Structure 1
Amino acid sequence: MKRHFSSLTGPEALRIAIAIEDRNADTYRQLADLFSHFCPESPTLASTFSELSSTERQHSIALSTRYLERYGTVNAGIAEEDIRDFIEVPRFEVADIVAAIETGSPGSARRIALEIAAAAERSALHYYERLAVVALDPQMKSLYQEFARFEQEHTDWLETELASKYPDLTSPGVPVAKSTTGHD
């Protein structure tokens, strides 16, 4: 049964944060591998996604350490999919990226990958911002604010990349990336 964001306990909220960082690290690793293999003329993008993956993995480790310090063994008792009103998982369709590359549109493949990453970062940012608002414990509030700043930096960088390379996407009324939940 799906639950509301407001019903999350402290350990559950932190566990979902770890899962989000792991998911994003895995997504970025897949994108790095994809561009290394299919688009060797885009080594910078493959390297960028590899660095993002490493950063997200470091975030996961930091959050896991905090979890262990506060709550003991990490319990996977709740997943993002269990939350009714909030978590957005970016759609990662390898086929769309490969099709764009195979049809001679590596620029489209890069755009799709950057949109996926921007959506993932906005989702994580939104999650940490919401946690920072509702956290009663000052240490946890501070942690969530810190992670919101990290995600904001990633979001800003990705959206700047999209705007500079694909200015038609940042025209008024044109969303940078698709949202599946309406929470941007």
Structure 2
Amino acid sequence: MRIKEIIVVEGKDDTVKIKHAVDADTIETNGSAINEATLERIKLAQEKRGVIVFTDPDYPGERIRNIITQHVPNCKHAFLSKEEAIAKKGKRGLGIEHASVEAIRIALQHAQQQTEEYKGEISWDDLLDAGLIGGSVAKSRREKIGKLLKIGYTNGKQLHKRLQVFQISKGDFEEAVRQMMQEENK
């Protein structure tokens, strides 16, 4: 599977794992130490071929994603859930380098472009009604919804914004909520 866009990852181990999964070029941010020179390379990559931001599903990964989003508009974003990115077989760690080849391919196939112009149909009340904000199960439900919609885990405020910037329709949201509820009732 060939990826036209350049994939932005955090480090060398991520690049190695990506190259096992797909035929693609990468830019490494060297962890959260992303600097101006790296941001300039990402801007050039976005202009020439497009960019997919694919960072680890943790705080540093989200921080890098947010920095890139602020400096380089219209990037695509790919996400792994924490479960998909946890090290296996007695190893420790969380990141793309620990994910299966299949999980990486699926995440890249579902990469979505972020846009700021869309004003979504999904309200705060919709999030509250679905138990995604407030309450003891909200965090675990946001993890499930993020995985189902392939937009990654977020807190409540970030979820509302991400639903908008990835232009998730109310129908797709409601279907994901229905599926989440069915899984919980099993």
Question: Structure 2 length normalisation: TM-score?
Answer: 0.24
Greater helix content: 1
Greater strand content: 2
Structure having greater relative contact order (Cα 8 Å, sep ≥ 6): 1
Question: Structure 1 length normalisation: TM-score?
Answer: 0.24
